[in-house]
Amino acid sequence: MSNAIIKTDFNFPGQTAVYKGKVRDVYTLENGILVMVASDRISAFDHVLPKGIPFKGQVLNQVATLFLNATRDIVPNWLVGTPDPSVAVGLACEPVRVEMVIRGYLAGHSAREYKAGKRELCGCVLPEGMKENDKFPEPIITPASKAEEGHDEDISHEEILSKGIVPEEIYLQMEKYTRALFQRGTEMAAARGLILVDTKYEFGIRNGEVLLIDEIHTPDSSRYFYSEGYQERQDRNEPQKQLSKEFVRQWLIENNFQGLEGQIMPIMPDEFVQTVTDRYIELYEMITGDIFEKSDTSDIEGRIKRNVDAFIATL
């Protein structure tokens, strides 16, 4: 097995703070710059699994970079550069505490809510007579409030404004960007034989301007179906062929873990870890159309430190 980035403990020039999320470690520098390290940690059911997945962080970072650069004509974003395969450097923003989730199909959370009898999600009316993985007449935006801890929660446009989470003009701008980004992502996915099913975008404010932040259109933030055979599978009421980390969730469920109280997190055997690495590389190559080039993992922390320090010196 190759080395994996499980945890980081860097001290970059001008560093003032560090935040460690489920997957990314974010280092803040004094000049309004963020250094975001995509670790090889993997999370499911709001829990981080004990073992890292070699090259997963590199896959996420490079896919996000591709799409951030491909959508700059739609919305300005935080990314300044990627000095290392697993690192993105960008502008610090004040995050908007709302995730803009957009869904083109009745899948995942929306399908579960629909199956439970709900016909409205975040203020959006869901048509009668749909079955799981059917396409919506038009994509729907179902925002989620960003929780400091625990699960994010569904929230409607009206609730966002009434609670004063974000001014209306900012929210409407985020909605406009969300629809345009999803359209671009849908077109880029179609060119690769994929369907962009649903995804989420996060935005921040810098000097009064709305910027796209974090990652976009990665297998961790998005769900993809294979286009070929989609309609046939729907007609036969068969599950869709997915390009996402859903298979990791399924392995956990089969091993009696869904993040519920009293459940014990199973330890992935090395063979399954290798399978997950292989699937992420497959995801990268399918989404981008490029051959994945594995980075040197003999001294990951040293490599990252050297690359980031050299890049910071140019800013």
Name the residue with tokens 């974000």: 166
9 part of a folded domain: no
Pairing mode, strands 120-121 and 153-154: unpaired
* Amino acid (1-letter code) at residue 233: R
The structural domain count of the chain equals 2
**46 shares its domain with 144:** no
**Length reported for the chain:** 315
248 part of a folded domain: no
**206 shares its domain with 137:** yes
Q: Does pTM top 0.85 for this prediction?
A: yes
Closest by CA position to 204, among listed 95, 120, 295: 95
Domain ranges, residue 198: 95-243
258 part of a folded domain: no
166 part of a folded domain: yes
Q: Are 31 and 251 in contact (CB under 8 A)?
A: no
Query: Would you state the pLDDT for residue 106?
Result: 98
Out of 222, 243, 264, a domain closes at: 243
249 part of a folded domain: no
264 part of a folded domain: no
**106 shares its domain with 202:** yes
**77 shares its domain with 175:** no
Tokens, residue 40: 């090889």
**228 shares its domain with 106:** yes
78 part of a folded domain: yes
**78 shares its domain with 26:** yes
Looking up residue 133, the CATH number of its domain turns out to be 3.30.470.20
**71 shares its domain with 89:** yes
Q: In this structure, is the dihedral angle defined by the CA atoms of residues 177, 178, 182 and 183, taken in order, positive or negative?
A: negative
Q: Count CB neighbours of 106 within 10 A.
A: 24
**117 shares its domain with 221:** yes
Query: Would you state the pLDDT for residue 2?
Result: 66
Beta strands in 54-193 (DSSP E): 79-84, 87-91, 94-95, 98-105, 120-121, 124-125, 135-141, 144-145, 153-154
pLDDT in tens, the chain (315 residues): 568 999 999 999 999 999 999 899 999 999 999 999 999 999 888 889 989 999 999 999 999 999 999 999 999 999 999 999 999 999 999 999 999 999 999 998 999 999 999 999 999 999 999 999 999 999 999 999 976 555 578 999 999 999 999 999 999 999 999 999 999 999 999 999 999 999 999 999 999 999 999 999 998 899 999 999 999 999 999 999 988 787 898 899 899 998 889 999 999 999 999 999 998 998 899 999 999 999 999 999 999 999 999 999 999
**120 shares its domain with 230:** yes
Looking up residue 76, the CATH number of its domain turns out to be 3.30.200.20
Cα–chain center distance at 130: 26
Name the residue with tokens 């980390």: 245
Interior/surface letters 3-17, b for 16+ CB within 10 angstroms, e for the rest: ebbeebebebeeeee
210 part of a folded domain: yes
Query: Would you state the pLDDT for residue 250?
Result: 87
Query: Would you state the pLDDT for residue 44?
Result: 87
Q: Are 248 and 265 in contact (CB under 8 A)?
A: no
Query: Would you state the pLDDT for residue 19?
Result: 94
Q: Which helix (H) or strand (E) holds 306?
A: helix 300-312
**286 shares its domain with 211:** no
**187 shares its domain with 74:** no
Name the residue with tokens 């409205």: 120
**53 shares its domain with 146:** no
